[in-house]
Structure formats: structure tokens, C-alpha cells
A and B are shown apart, each in its own frame.
Chain A
Amino acid sequence: MSTEASLFNQATIGDILVTRLVEFVRLTRKNGFQVGIAEAIDAIKVAELCFEPMGLYWGLRALLCSKADDWRRFDQLFDSYWQFENSKRQVQSSSRPNGKLEQRSPKKFGIAADSLQVQLGDDSDAGDGSARGGACYQATHLQKDFRFLTTASDIEAMALLVQRLAYRMRRRLRRRWQIAHEGKRLQLRHTVRYSLSYGGTPLEPVYSQRRRKQPRLILFLDVSRSMNIYSYFFLRFAHGIISAFDDAHAFIYHTHLVSITDALREQSNEKLKEKLTAISAGWAGGTRIGDSLQYFNQQFGRKLLSRGTLFMVLSDGLDTGSPALLAEQLKIIKQRVRRLIWLNPLLGREGYQPLAGGMVAALPLLDVFAPAFNLETLAALESVLIKI
């Protein structure tokens, strides 16, 4: 820590303050803020420029935060570190004239060094200049079955990865389309470049192709009791898909069918939870896939099913309804879509055979029948999407 602190010119502000600032930058790093040495150096500059009592707070907030979530957590970190009493309330009143802001004494900034309230934790990884720990974590989680995740933090971390996966899928798909080089439109840039070797006559025309339209995705999620462990991850996956793809729709079903596309468009997590709770009455009950599909065909089929559509069912196929109805309805869908995909979390589990009545009825109709119990299997979907 002292090495990091000694990097800075301490001509204008005191040693203690520099130390405190560097420590604070590290504290934010420990708390998941994306900050490194460059930010620590600028934090010192902020303190040097510090024009008024609140200046340090405003300045550090602008410097160290990098997303709305950081912005919300910053107050608490700042207050607990710099030890302002009741300052939360003062911050909230900040835009009112004659608030209590001026009571924040500038003297307080440097003196609280010995009575640190927030634990800085283990400093062993300090000084690398960044706070990125994603890659290794991801690797170990890639093959973990969703049902073996137990702690709340594990589940949350996995859910986040699932959601990101959906984003990444889109990115890959788009990159593929961008490099297409033949088509109807003349691409002047390269045509002119190539014409140089013919003395300016464009003998070798170059074309570019329009981006291919993304396929429409319809997700059909089973949230019955037997799928209980997986539902949450599939919902987060659906959330990622909905936000990443322009034309995606999601439905959940157990004994009946509910569209959750609108609810999943909600950006903030709290609101999303609220909305899902509101529509989740009857979750984890029995399953009637056939009836749900029939309802879907009647209500949404005409609007949503087309030749460019990918229809994806995420279910274990354990059904209390009639297999004949399921087969009949799936056949209608199959006739109208590009690909019919069934993802089964039980598939790939030792000793599992798709023998459940519903599964047997559906199998001959499916284009893709694949497992989906961990990140890796979900990621394998990408290659299916690309082929469309």
C-alpha cells in the first residue's frame, strides 16, 4: 500500500490524506468497482482540486463509479469510510438550498485514519491495476449442474453468467453476418481500391451483403414442480435473450400459459422480481404441456409463428396431460417454424431415458433435442442458432 501511495506527488496535500485516498480507492475496488491505479492517481488530483467540502464526495463519485449500481452503493461506502454521521440524509437533501451540506467539515477528511470502520480485507491481490475476476470463475462454473448450486451467492453468480451468455450469443451471431462479402450492393470502397491495378477501371467489382435478419425466438418455459430447480436459471436466460434479441418472445407454462415477454423487458432487477412474483401464481404445480401449446396456437400462433422462427421448449417432458394432444399441437407448430428445439435438463443425467409419455410423443417431431443443465450445454445452443 505504501508503495502505491508513494507514487504520488504529495506537494499540495498531506501524506495522511494521500494514504487515505489510496485506501479508499482500494476499498471501492474490493467492493467490485472497476478502478485501478489510474483512478487512484486521479483521485489525488480530485483532492488537490477540491474546491469545497462536498467536492471530494462529488469528485470521487464521478471518478470511481462506472454504472448506475455503483452510483447507488457509493454513498454508503463513502460515508462508512470517511465517517460522516447521518450524511446519507444530508446527501439526499443536496439539491435543496440551505441544506445541511455545509456542515460537512473539510477538516474531517484527513483525521479518521486510525479508526477505520470498513474492513479492507486481504490485500494480497492489490496493485494489479484492475478488478476483473470473471474468467476463472466462469471456467469452474461452466460444467456445474444447476441443481448442485446451493448458496444464494452461487445461484446469483450463475444466473448472471446465464444472462450474459445470452448477450454473447447475439454478439457472435452478428459478427458472423458482418463479414459477409458477396451480395447485391456494390461496395465502392473496395471496388475503387481494386480498380487501381487496372488504371482506374473498376474491372473487379466488390459487393457487400445486407445483414441477415435475426431469427425470431420463442421460448417456452416449463415452470412446473418437477422443473423447480431449473426454472430460475431458465428465466434469467430468457431475460438475457429478451434483452439481447430484437424479436424474442417468452412464455411460461405449467397448467396454463402466461406471456412474460413484457415483464422480462423490465431493466431493473427488483421490478422484474416484483412482476414475476405477480404472475407466478400457480407455479410449481402440475404440467399440461399439450393444453398450453394448444392455447398458444390459438392465441399467438398466427401472430408469432413464421418461417424464420425458432421455437424452443425448455422442459423435462414430465406431463400430466394427454401425449396425443401434445403431439398434435407440436405438429402444427413444426409445420410453421424453421426449427423446433427441445431442451431437457434431465437429458445427460446418468440413467435418464426420454421415456415419459410426453417426451416419447414429441421426440419424432423435434429438429434438435439437447440437454440443458449447465452453462456449457446452454452455450452449445449458439451453433444451432448460427445455422439458421
Chain B
Amino acid sequence: MSSRQHFQTCLEQSGYIAEPSLAATLLLFTELRRPLLVEGEAGVGKTEIAKALAKLFDTQLIRLQCYEGLDTCTAVYEWNYQRQLLAIKIQEGEHLSIEQKERHIFSDSFLLKRPLLQAITQTTSPVLLVDEIDRADEEFEAYLLEILSDFQISIPELGTIKATSIPYVVLTSNGTRDLSDALRRRCLYHYVDYPEMDKELRIIQQHEARISQRLAGHVVAFVHALRQLDLRKKPGVAETLDWVSALLRMDIESLNADSELIAQTMVCLLKTKEDRNAVTPEVLVRLLADSV
């Protein structure tokens, strides 16, 4: 068994079913210690990769969810102002010089560590998940790039903090905004596509042990057919799993069943009004007939 196959099996035991190419990429990722940029449609399991890695390495997962307007205060560090103000009041009676006072209130115990600072000050390498990096501003992206190359953070009042351990960095992106070439160049890259039939089948079976082989097969065929349509938001793996749960919950054992009943479960797969209109009852019946 090659090291890649071994790694793939380990990943599977951690709850992530990866195709060989992804397993090979992840193996490289652990060897080269470059950040990994994962792109793909929403709901194909990008975030799950980081979770599985954390489980596999038996280490902490530190997650930084990006959004527009994300700044250093929420991403890197922040001073605990309330405590600082209190400390200043307490110090009033003491005869300390201004420098001593300042050193005290800007010491480590007043520092609130946010995800990025947390990630580089662990004793063992954590997995740092920077989720949806494309949602953050360009300025933040540039800052992140600096941290990812130096693994040190400067805090004006405290000095430079060097990394005690280099985190495994996983970045995900949905393509809301184009990322800078510099960031892309630093990273290993993997594009996660919608899974092939057999992979999706295995994912379903892993998550829902109760489902019959036959229904699972039909579900996968149906979802794949649905993705062929020109939908605004194609259902991802997460949606498939939701749908499976819904089917099981409603005791639908076969897609041959009443199509009106199944139409009610479409809320799990179709997430916009346009898509709901596009999949008319006739289309649904046709898709169901094709997939069983």
C-alpha cells in the first residue's frame, strides 16, 4: 500500500472520502507545508477537508470566517479595553512611572488572541481554516499573505510575536471576488468539483447508514441529473445529505413513490425561487423516472 493510499484510508476513517488526487494533494500539503487553496462550488465539502485534517492529525482546528470588513481586531488580536481601564484606575494610587504603567497594561494578560494569533502560538501545529477568503477585503488578503510567509505578527505595543509552531493553513474560496496572484502563487491549489457518482454514493452511505443501497443509488442519479439542468444554485453534497435525511424522515423508501410527496422535499435541493420555478412538476416526474 502506497503512502498515498494509506493517507486516503486515514482520511476516510476521519470521515472524509477523498478521491486519490485530493489525497495526493493533501499528502503533499503536509510535506511541503505550503498553504492549500481549495476552490469549488458551494456545498462540495471544502470546509470539511480542514475538519478532517484536524481530526486526522489529532490537533486543534482554528477557524477564521472571512467577511467584508474583517479587520485586524477580529482576525489577529485586540486589547481587552475594559480590563485595561480598570487596571489604570487601580494603578492610580501606586507610585509607578508612566513607562511601568504602560508596560503593565500592554502586557500579555491584556491581550485577546484572535484566530490568526492563536494559530501561530500553539505548542503543536494546528489546522488553520481561513474560510471564504474571497469575502474579505483586498487589504486583509495582503496582510494574510504577509503572515503566511513570515509566520510572525507585529503588535506595536508588544513587539513581534514569532510562531511557536507553523500551522497547516487551508484557505477556501467560492469565487465571489478574484484573489490576488500573489496569494494564489503561495498556495497549493485544488479544485473540488461535484463528486462522481460512486464517490457521492459512498459519502451518503457513510453519513446515513440506514439508507438502502437502492435508494441511495437513485438519489445520486437524481441529484446528478438535477445538476445537469441550468440552475442558479446547483445542489452540493451538503444538499444531497439534507435531502437523504428528509426522505428517510418522511419514510419515502423509493423515488417511485408519489411525486407530489417528493416535490415537497425539493426544498432541500432547490434554494432559489427561479430554480423552484425551473423544476416544474413535469420536469420533476421526468427526472424521477430517469433516475430509478
Contacts and interface: CB of A to CB of B under 8 A. Distances in A.
B21 A61 contact: yes
Interface stretch (B28-36, B238-246, B251-259): B28-36
Interface residues of A, number: 47
A67 B190 contact: no
A188 B187 contact: no
Contacts of A167: 177-178
A95 B19 contact: yes
Given A192-B81, A200-B92, A71 B184 contact: no
A174 B69 CA distance: 10
Contact of B32 (A34, A45, A97, A132): A45
B228 to A, nearest CB: 14
Contacts of A244: 177
Given A52-B4, A63-B28, A174-B137, A36 B20 contact: no
A62 interface: yes
B189 A62 contact: yes
Interface in B90-131: 91-92, 98, 101-102
A45 B31 CA distance: 9
A171 interface: yes
B274 to A, nearest CB: 8
Given A52-B4, A167-B178, A196-B98, A46 B28 contact: yes
Contacts of B3: 51
Interface string A136-178: 0000000000000000000000000000000100010011001
Given A51-B4, A62-B25, A95 B20 contact: yes
Contact of A71 (B2, B29, B69, B191): B191
Nearest to A46: B28
A280 to B, nearest CB: 17
Interface in A54-86: 54-55, 58-59, 61-63, 65-68, 70-71
Contacts of A243: 177
B200 to A, nearest CB: 10
A195 B88 contact: yes
Contacts of B85: 192, 195, 200, 202
A199 B88 contact: yes
A277 interface: no
A54 B20 contact: yes
Contacts of A95: 19-20, 196, 198-199
B249 interface: no
Given A95-B196, A95-B198, A192-B81, A35 B185 contact: yes
Contact of B181 (A39, A45, A94, A132): A132
A192 B85 CA distance: 7
A303 interface: no
A34 B184 contact: yes
Interface string B60-100: 00000000010001000011010011001101100000100
Contacts of A101: 20
A68 B41 CA distance: 11
Nearest to B34: A42
A58 B139 contact: no
A94 B19 CA distance: 8
A89 interface: no
7 contacts: A52-B2, A58-B24, A61-B189, A63-B34, A65-B191, A188-B81, A200-B89
Interface of A: 34-36, 39, 42, 45-46, 49, 51-52, 54-55, 58-59, 61-63, 65-68, 70-71, 94-97, 101, 130, 132, 167, 171, 174-175, 178, 188-189, 192, 195-196, 199-200, 202, 211, 243-244, 267
Interface of B: 2-4, 19-21, 24-25, 27-29, 31-32, 34, 36-37, 39, 69, 73, 78-79, 81, 84-85, 88-89, 91-92, 98, 101-102, 137-139, 175, 177-179, 181, 184-185, 187-191, 196, 198-199
